[in-house]
Amino acid sequence: MRIDILPYDPAWADMAAKETERWEKALGTALREVHHIGSTAVPGLSAMPVIDLIPVIAPTIDLDALQTLVNAMGYEWLGEHGLPRRRYCRRSSPANGKHLVQAHCWPVGDSAILRHLAFRDALRADPLLRGAYETRKRHCASLHRDDSAAYAACKSGWINTAEARALKARAGEDG
């Protein structure tokens, strides 16, 4: 997959909302909520035009039991895909195979949900952090234009540090 960083597009929020409605209709009461995360969820932040969602699954539901419903929505089910407790699914364009949506399904209460939301909210709230992240993403994309794994690895240290700070700040707000 080619790494193309595009200017922020307000249509991404609408796309996420429409996709959330599809998840709500398909999963019904198994689904507690859906969060729009990732760079497309941050106004003003350039991003790869792929919508990232966290469908939060009810605690009594076996995530793997949802595979048939998720596949019926046009998603490819990839299981944990390197992260325990998560179920990763992606939907691609039938016309060109480009990824459109990535869904990271987590059970209610999983700490990964809070981590993603804290990072997203910190980026939304802090223009300097947002600018620094965009700079990092563009740098990594310039080095790894055709290697999504290397691109992700290039960003990961920066993201981990920013997430840790966002979680600490959020804990200070809650405490």
Predicted confidence (pLDDT) per residue in 27-78, tens digit: 999 999 999 999 999 999 999 999 999 999 999 999 999 999 999 999 999 9
Predicted local confidence at residue 175, as pLDDT:
55
Backbone angles phi and psi of 62, in degrees to 5: -80, 115
**3-state SS assignment for residue 81:** coil
**Model confidence at 173: pLDDT above 80:** no
**Model confidence at 4: pLDDT above 90:** yes
Judge whether 119 and 166 are in contact, CB under 8 Å. yes
Q: In 3D, which of 148, 120, 102 has the Cα closest to residue 44? A: 120
Domains delineated in the chain = 11-174 (3.30.460.10)
Judge whether 154 and 142 are in contact, CB under 8 Å. no
**DSSP 8-state symbol, 47:** B
CA 26 – CA 17 distance, rounded (Å) = 14
- Would you say how long the chain is, in residues? 175
CA 115 – CA 103 distance, rounded (Å) = 16
Predicted local confidence at residue 1, as pLDDT:
72
Q: For 80-121, what is each residue's pLDDT tens digit? A: 998 899 999 999 999 998 999 999 999 999 999 999 999 999
**Model confidence at 8: pLDDT above 70:** yes
Residue type, 173: E
Q: In 3D, which of 60, 73, 72 has the Cα closest to residue 20? A: 73
**3-state SS assignment for residue 83:** coil
